[in-house]
Amino acid sequence: MRKRSRRFLKISQQFDKTLIYDPRDAVTLLKKFSNVNFNETVEAHVCLGLDPKYADQQLRSTVILPKGSGKIIRVAVITQGETIKEALSAGADIVGSNDLIQEIIKGRLDFDKLIATPDMMLLIAKLGRILGPRGLMPSPKSGTVTKDIKNAIHEFKAGKLEYKLDRTGIVHVPIGKLSFQFDDLIYNLKALQESIDSNKPSGSKGKYWKSLYLSSTMGPGISINFNTLKDLKLG
């Protein structure tokens, strides 16, 4: 069993772990409990009634956080021809063609998101063993294989995130920084809930949402009433 610090245990004693909290109250508690000297990330952990062993119960999609992620995203683009200029003018941090592929093979991985145009995918296939384990392999499902390079760069820079179901049926998604305004975290959480609902797999059976927890980097998980979140109306 993982040993908890005295700081963590002290925080855990300040709220009732048997209760299911309103999303607003949970965010208030996370802000109240934070006593570390860095800006913590707030994460949502969603347990769904899905079995990832079945193809029709897979969940992999993207969400654009309306208030951003709070993280500076370094975007790399692999393309060719005139699209290289387009990617640079759209704000990509690293742009290249076969030369960038060779740099990645040699170990260059100083980026958070890799976008590619469809005409480069045959060449990029050789990077699967390098990029796959790091979650960086371009994919049409995640919006990282596209002809619309300009829009893709802008979306990922603005806070577009990819999420997917893990082997235990849970989705883990960072929804912003603890320093965010209260309402901004709620807006981002609501956007995630709507995305998960709209991408419900065809093979889903029975109860779709099983539990939802919010936590910060160094804070405890707080159980959220996901029905309250679904009914939440944002102005």
User: For the residues 130-145, what does the mean pLDDT come to?
Assistant: 91
Residue 234: per-residue pLDDT = 72
Q: Minimum mean pLDDT among 16-30, 79-93, 140-154, 174-188: which range?
A: 16-30
Q: Are residues 224 and 169 located together in one domain of the fold?
A: yes
Residue 141: per-residue pLDDT = 83
User: For the residues 25-33, what does the mean pLDDT come to?
Assistant: 88
User: For the residues 177-193, what does the mean pLDDT come to?
Assistant: 94
> For the chain, what percent of residues have pLDDT higher than 90?
71
Q: Is residue 200 part of a domain?
A: yes
Q: Is residue 4 part of a domain?
A: no
User: For the residues 112-121, what does the mean pLDDT come to?
Assistant: 96
DSSP conformation letters of 135-171: T-S--TTTT-B-S-HHHHHHHHHHTEEEEE--TTSEE
Q: Are residues 204 and 97 located together in one domain of the fold?
A: no
Residue 3: per-residue pLDDT = 55
CB-side exposure of 55: number of CA atoms within 13 Å? 0
User: For the residues 134-142, what does the mean pLDDT come to?
Assistant: 90
Residue 1: per-residue pLDDT = 46
Domain count for the chain, please give it.
2
Distance of alpha carbon 235 from alpha carbon 86, whole angstroms? 36
Residue 213: per-residue pLDDT = 95
Q: Could you tell me if 69 and 160 are in contact, meaning their C-beta atoms sit under 8 angstroms apart?
A: no
Helix extents (H) in 13-148 = 23-33, 83-89, 98-105, 121-124, 128-131
Query: Which of 158, 176, 195 corresponds to the end of one domain?
Result: 158
Q: Is residue 7 part of a domain?
A: no
Q: Which amino acid is at 82?
A: E
CATH of the domain at 106: 3.40.50.790
Residue 19: per-residue pLDDT = 84
The 8-class DSSP code of residue 63 comes to E
CATH of the domain at 174: 3.30.190.20
Query: Which of 158, 182, 206 corresponds to the end of one domain?
Result: 158
Q: Minimum mean pLDDT among 7-16, 57-66, 115-124, 128-137: which range?
A: 7-16
Tell me the torsion sign for CA atoms 162, 167, 170, 173.
negative
Query: Which of 129, 158, 187 corresponds to the end of one domain?
Result: 158
- pLDDT over threshold 90, residue 187: yes
- pLDDT over threshold 90, residue 177: yes
Distance of alpha carbon 149 from alpha carbon 86, whole angstroms? 8
Residue 4: per-residue pLDDT = 53
Mean pLDDT of the chain: 90
Q: Could you tell me if 145 and 116 are in contact, meaning their C-beta atoms sit under 8 angstroms apart?
A: yes
Enter the tokens of residue 144: 């990282």
What is the band of 16 on the pLDDT scale with cuts at 50, 70, 90? low
User: For the residues 23-36, what does the mean pLDDT come to?
Assistant: 87
N- to C-terminal Cα separation, the chain: 44
CA distances, 13 to each of 8, 16, 21, 40, 110 (Å): 9, 7, 16, 20, 40
User: For the residues 162-174, what does the mean pLDDT come to?
Assistant: 93
User: For the residues 148-175, what does the mean pLDDT come to?
Assistant: 93
What is the band of 36 on the pLDDT scale with cuts at 50, 70, 90? confident
Which is more confidently placed, 232 or 65? 65
Residue 235: per-residue pLDDT = 62
- In three-state secondary structure terms, 207 is coil
Give 87: exposed, middle or buried? Use CB within 10 Å, 0-12, 13-18, 19+. buried
Tell me the torsion sign for CA atoms 133, 139, 115, 170.
negative
Domain of 107, in residue numbers: 75-158
Give 68: exposed, middle or buried? Use CB within 10 Å, 0-12, 13-18, 19+. middle
